[in-house]
Amino acid sequence: MNILVFSTDDHLYPAGGAESAMGEITKRLPDIQFDLVCARLRREASTYEQVKNVRIHRLGFGIPKVDGLILALFGHVKALRLFRKYHHDIVWSVMASYGAFSAVRVKKRAGIPFLLTLQEGDDIAHILDKVKYVRGQFNDIFRTADGLQPISHFLRNWGIEMGFSGRFSDVIPNGVDVSAFTKKFSDKELRKTRRDFGFPVDADVVITSSRLEKKNGVGDIIGALQLLPKKTCLVICGSGSLENELRKKVKTLELGSRVRFLGFVQIEKLPKLLKASDVFIRPSLTEGLGNAFLEAMAAEILTIGTPVGGIPDFLKDTVTGFMCEPEDVESIANVISKALAYPSERKKHMQKNAKDMVLEVYDWEKIVNSMQDLFNKLNKA
């Protein structure tokens, strides 16, 4: 089977979550050949590269805003040339983004089935505002798709509201590298990691792994820290446009001794940080799914989220984790206190529930099998 893929970025480091998920799928399906048409985005990136079973075709000049528009307006030209050469069976768009506009043209001209994956994590109103001048063409992405692969029930409902009426609509989430996040570390290693945070020995360590953007509510965690005992400390893993603003907030609130910014943390280093902490939290304002929660659950750390987007698919209050209210520092502080004081036996039961759920539903091998089935159904349609 040959599959033509559109994505804003490729799946190589430092790819975002949606592109990384695409990479996890492609590498586990070595018998399928993928042609990926994407924006160049980085000047140092070549216009063509082959990585195992993925031929990467990058369009543009290494200027992100320009290259995205080139992908939207002219990506189909490159893709149709590839189609004439390789005779693809399916066109697959990763998200309803720049490449999806070109994917629609390929579907209409080549007549091959069109699969749309929804991984959007931004607020839906914000997305629709961004496309207000091309709203008709944007809606056409959903109406034209033969298959819909949303990563959560929230996104499935949105896809249908936007006009999807194709034959295949399967919720297939992103997965977790189970072996990495269930890895065991010695008590000595975990004690050293806690010492490296620089907090007092008896500190209660709260951790978040988030892009430092408004949607992830990191500023609200910092605000809630004022309402919590001084021994409650926060580790922030991630980088983003709000980093300087968040650092200023920590300084203004005189919380410098209780907050550590670790910057971008490579995925292989994250499990130990999670296991060395007491509670994971991300008080999201919006979320397509939220892999960071699943990673924390696999690492067996108590997890706090908000009832938005795709989070309720896996986070059930007091069953697999705790729910707090978004943009509500008092609620965030209260739930952190509850999690830290949770009785030991109930804590172990919740951690087991969460880990078992991740192993059962979010293991990449199971997810890739579901994607293979979906590809096969579309190919036979």
The pLDDT tens digits for 229-262 are 999 999 999 999 999 999 999 999 999 999 999 9
Confidence of residue 13 (pLDDT cuts 50, 70, 90): confident
DSSP one-letter string for 62-75 = S-HHHHHHHHHHHH
Per-residue CA distances from 38 to 18, 41, 99, 152, 179 (Å): 13, 9, 7, 24, 30
Confidence of residue 349 (pLDDT cuts 50, 70, 90): very high
Residues of the chain with CATH 3.40.50.2000: 2-175+363-380, 178-361
* Dihedrals phi, psi of 219, to nearest 5 degrees: -60, -30
Q: Given the DSSP bridges, would you call strands 33-39 and 54-59 parallel, antiparallel or unpaired? A: parallel
pLDDT at 149: 98
pLDDT higher than threshold 90 for residue 17: no
Confidence of residue 1 (pLDDT cuts 50, 70, 90): very high
Confidence of residue 267 (pLDDT cuts 50, 70, 90): confident
If you compute the radius of gyration of the chain from its CA atoms, what whole number of angstroms results?
Answer: 22
DSSP one-letter string for 40-65 = --STTS-SEEEETTEEEEEESSS-HH
pLDDT higher than threshold 90 for residue 15: no
Confidence of residue 62 (pLDDT cuts 50, 70, 90): very high
Instruction: Give the mean pLDDT of the chain.
Output: 96
Summarize pLDDT for 174-203 with one digit per residue, the tens.
999 999 999 999 999 999 999 999 999 999
Residue in this structure with the two tokens 């001084």, named with its chain if needed: 230
The contacts of residue 366 (CB under 8 Å, 6+ apart) are 175
pLDDT higher than threshold 90 for residue 43: yes
Fold of 2-175+363-380: Rossmann fold (3.40.50)
Q: CA-CA distance, 158 to 80, in Å (whole number)?
A: 29
Domain 178-361 has CATH 3.40.50.150: no
Q: CA-CA distance, 69 to 35, in Å (whole number)?
A: 20
Summarize pLDDT for 298-326 with one digit per residue, the tens.
999 999 999 999 999 999 999 999 999 99
Confidence of residue 159 (pLDDT cuts 50, 70, 90): very high
